[in-house]
Amino acid sequence: MADIQTKYLIIGAGLSGLSSAYQFKMAGETDFCILESRDRIGGRIQTKDAIDFGATWFNDGHSSLLHLIDHLKLEKYRQFNLGKSYFVYSPKAAPQVFEADQNDAPNYRVKGGTISITERLAQELEGKIRLNMLVETIEEHGKKIRVQTKEISYIADKLIVTVPPQLASCLTYQPALPEELIEAMQKTNTWMRNAMKVGIRFKTPFWRKNGQSGILVGQAGPVIELYDHTNYEEDSFALMGFVNESLRELGKEERKDTILTYLKKYFGKEIEEYLSFEIIDWSTDQFTACLNLKPLYMSSAYGNSLFQQFYMDGKLIFSGSETSNNHGAYLEGAVYSGLSVAQKIINSST
């Protein structure tokens, strides 16, 4: 099959890749394409049954994301935090009970779940996204760049790789990328790669009626963070949070029993009257956690200056939440990086 030609090619249909494509469209560009290895868009944004199992919150300091949400005519709403909250500093001691200051800067969620952002972007980019496209090789092809997937190859003038740097380092590049860049990629921690998130749906938000916020934090127990996850319409009620990684060693049912027994101490027997219970372990996602990556010290710092440069003679550049030098490892970082990299390409092409 003949190579597919396109002006701009983007690898990854997560928030960063979709933001870049949207920036191209807003600039009047039509000759671009997105390749996504998964069978869905969104990357580490995943909303199921009104529960965000991936990226969730943002705040007033995240201006690029807020502007995008407004532009897409989406609605944000404040994260519920009213009532008694718990800080567990020891499994053998009573928890510290506190109430969040309602005058503090709020965190927000998006009506419809975080997936509503990527879905709305995808609607704007209809026909530009190719799913189930697993990239194998990226190589220079004269004055252009060639991307080989399992079944087909694409040739582009410019390429944006939005895959997390650790995973991007596992791809084959011809010619090879600079050693210092590969080392920086391998040492950049992939946001969410070790996260396990639990979502528990209920018929009613009983914790609210009991004067509780739904917030529980602390490293001592099976659940290290928990929050109210009632939706915007207040017709779907849930608690959602992060599970202690030590529970990864347990079987599915034992893990669930351990979590429910723990939460029962703070929220009472009503915690057992759930409608659904689900855990998503991002470490098992091959497109988030790179299985064949050599064990190296990983830095929690994001936005390495090496990621801001072009490679392969100005044809290749990286983007994503981890590469962003503004709010790295946040939704804001993904949007900021996606928009700014696309604009950098547009400027370099004029």
Whether the per-residue pLDDT at 95 is higher than 90: the answer is yes
Task: Give the DSSP H or E segment for 87.
Answer: strand 84-87
> Does residue 130 lie within any of the structural domains?
yes
Question: Tokens at residue 245, please?
Answer: 């990684």
Domain with 329 in it: 4-47+116-191+293-349
User: Alpha-carbon distance 318 to 338, whole Å?
Assistant: 9
User: Alpha-carbon distance 228 to 240, whole Å?
Assistant: 6
pLDDT of residue 92: 82
User: Alpha-carbon distance 256 to 250, whole Å?
Assistant: 9
User: Alpha-carbon distance 231 to 67, whole Å?
Assistant: 22
> Does residue 248 lie within any of the structural domains?
yes
Separation in Å, CA 39 to CA 46, 93, 137, 190, 273: 12, 46, 20, 21, 33
User: Alpha-carbon distance 212 to 18, whole Å?
Assistant: 38
Which of 284, 302, 324 marks a domain boundary? Answer: 284
> Does residue 91 lie within any of the structural domains?
yes
Within this chain, do residues 208 and 331 fall inside the same structural domain, yes or no? no
Contact at 8 Å (CB) between 247 and 222? yes
Within this chain, do residues 132 and 205 fall inside the same structural domain, yes or no? no
Contact at 8 Å (CB) between 268 and 210? yes
Within this chain, do residues 146 and 15 fall inside the same structural domain, yes or no? yes
Separation in Å, CA 8 to CA 248, 343, 345: 41, 12, 9
CA angle 178, 180, 183 (to 5 degrees): 110
User: Alpha-carbon distance 133 to 44, whole Å?
Assistant: 17
Separation in Å, CA 187 to CA 154, 227, 290, 301, 321: 29, 31, 12, 9, 15
Whether the per-residue pLDDT at 341 is higher than 90: the answer is yes
> Does residue 57 lie within any of the structural domains?
no
Count of other CB atoms within 10 angstroms of residue 5: 13
How many domains does the chain contain in total? 2
Contact at 8 Å (CB) between 241 and 224? yes
Within this chain, do residues 106 and 203 fall inside the same structural domain, yes or no? yes
Residue 174 pLDDT level (bands cut at 50, 70, 90): very high
Could you give phi then psi for residue 97, rounded to 5 degrees?
A: -100, 130
pLDDT of residue 234: 97
Residue 93 pLDDT level (bands cut at 50, 70, 90): confident
Whether the per-residue pLDDT at 291 is higher than 60: the answer is no
Query: Considering the entire predicted model, what is its pTM?
Result: 0.96
Within this chain, do residues 24 and 139 fall inside the same structural domain, yes or no? yes
Within this chain, do residues 306 and 340 fall inside the same structural domain, yes or no? yes
Within this chain, do residues 306 and 246 fall inside the same structural domain, yes or no? no
Q: What is the CA radius of gyration of the chain?
A: 21
Which of 228, 251, 284 marks a domain boundary? Answer: 284
Task: Give the DSSP H or E segment for 342.
Answer: helix 331-349
Contact at 8 Å (CB) between 205 and 180? no
pLDDT in tens, 111-137: 999 999 999 999 999 999 999 999 999
CATH code, 280: 3.90.660.10
pLDDT in tens, 3-50: 999 999 999 999 999 999 999 999 999 999 999 999 999 999 999 999
Question: Tokens at residue 226, please?
Answer: 């928990």
Least Cα distance to 163 among 336, 330, 334 occurs for: 334
Within this chain, do residues 137 and 202 fall inside the same structural domain, yes or no? no
Within this chain, do residues 184 and 200 fall inside the same structural domain, yes or no? no
Within this chain, do residues 264 and 207 fall inside the same structural domain, yes or no? yes
Phi/psi region, residue 196 (left: phi>0; alpha: psi -120 to 50; beta: rest), is beta
**Helix residue spans in 74-230 (DSSP H):** 115-124, 165-168, 179-187, 206-209
Q: What is the mean pLDDT of residues 272-296?
A: 84
> Does residue 65 lie within any of the structural domains?
no
State in Å, rounded, how far the first CA of the chain is from the last one: 32
User: Alpha-carbon distance 305 to 312, whole Å?
Assistant: 17
Question: Tokens at residue 335, please?
Answer: 């949007």
> Does residue 61 lie within any of the structural domains?
no
- Whether cis (ω within 30° of 0) applies to the bond prior to 175 is yes
